[in-house]
Amino acid sequence: MVGREFGNGVRAAVESTGLIQRRLAELLGWQEAKLSDMLAGKGGVNELEVATLLAYCRTPLEERERLQALFRESGSFYAQFTDDGVPDQVRTLINQEQEAIEIIDWSMILVPGLLQIFEYIQAVTAKAQTVSEENIPKTVAARAARAEILEYSRSFTFYIHEQALWLPVGGTEVWREQLAHLLRLSVRKYISIRIVPRSAGMHAGTSGDFRLMKFSKYPPVVYIESVRCCLFFDDKETVDTYENILKDLAGVALDEEESRAVINSILEGLQ
């Protein structure tokens, strides 16, 4: 996954020059295949060569440092730390979500981010200890914009613990509208919302929230978010572990109609 993220970033840098790959390779004194492999995230270059290419492309310093850090990454997971402490705002997650053809999300405490209404996002962000007051508006806007991927060309499954529905985020009005929003989304054929009832008791999902993203050309990626860091795993052992957790959740979760009934019941109690 790190190689793919690196390749995407370098490809954008190359495209910004307006040159075709063959011409750029000639100017660098490289074989075209070497540049192609680099853009595909397959390696074949050293760090100095990466720096040379990015300098030639006049890549801004911040992006150059990000890509060089990606190049140096190795191992079965990729950890990304953010200066403003907003893990789900980072570019890597947004890129992964946009490329995914299937997203399966598990959330215990809050409504999943992709399903949150604007006012709910505002309330959550305002209470966070990781976002400065001046950064709240742009953080909320960035989080809200992620919902644009909720469209029919991909599929979504959201497992939500019942306790998340009972948390009155933003007050009664926001709480009510958020539940109504879930009901509206739940009837879309490409979105499945399944509630894990409190009566299910202990289950594998209590290990924590996560998201599994699947792609047409790449291995699946597991995303886990913490206060100051977000983790991406694409090794088979980790992915298999979380797929097994999802199987357990599927076994204890209510079906879609039953889930709508639970949401509607809570909503009616707020009228």
Q: Where are the domains of the chain?
A: 2-74, 78-269
pLDDT at 81: 42
pLDDT at 211: 94
In sequence order, which residues have a C-beta less than 8 Å from that of residue 236 and are 6 or more positions away? 219
Beta-carbon contacts of residue 119 (< 8 Å; ≥ 6 apart): 170, 174, 177, 178
Residue 84 has pLDDT above 60, yes or no: no
Are 104 and 244 in contact by the 8 Å Cβ rule? The answer is: no
Predicted model pTM: 0.71
Q: 251 pLDDT exceeds 70?
A: yes
**Class assignment of domain 78-269?**
alpha beta
More confident residue, 66 or 88: 66
Q: What is the pLDDT of residue 9?
A: 80
Tokens 């929003």 map to which residue? Answer: 181
Confidence of residue 93 (pLDDT cuts 50, 70, 90): confident
Q: State whether residue 179 is helix, strand or coil.
A: helix
Mean pLDDT across 242-262? 96
The tens digit of pLDDT for each residue in 19-42 reads: 888 888 888 888 888 787 777 656
pLDDT average, residue stretch 77-101: 61
Place of tokens 């399944």: 194
Predicted pLDDT at 37: 73
Is residue 86 very low, low, confident or very high in pLDDT (cuts 50, 70, 90)? very low
How many residues does this entry show for the chain?
Answer: 271
Say how far apart CA 165 and CA 111 lie, in whole Å: 7
Instruction: Report the C-alpha gap between 18 and 119 in whole angstroms.
Output: 41
What local confidence, expressed as pLDDT, does residue 248 receive?
A: 95
Give every CB contact of residue 69 below 8 A, 6+ residues apart in sequence: none
Q: Residue 209 — very low, low, confident or very high, per pLDDT cuts 50/70/90?
A: very high
The DSSP output letter for 196 is E
Model pLDDT for residues 116-135, shown as the tens digit of each residue: 999 999 999 888 766 777 77
How far, in Å, CA of 27 to CA of 102, rounded? 40
What is the Cα–Cα distance from 11 to 28, expressed in whole angstroms? 15
What is the arrangement of strands in the sheet containing 77-81, beginning at the earlier edge strand? 77-81, 229-233, 221-225, 210-214, 102-107, 155-161, 191-196
Sign of CA dihedral 48, 50, 53, 58: negative
Fold classification of 2-74 is 434 Repressor (Amino-terminal Domain) (1.10.260)
Please name the helix (run of DSSP H) or strand (run of DSSP E) that holds residue 158, with its range, or none. Answer: strand 155-161
pLDDT for res 180: 97
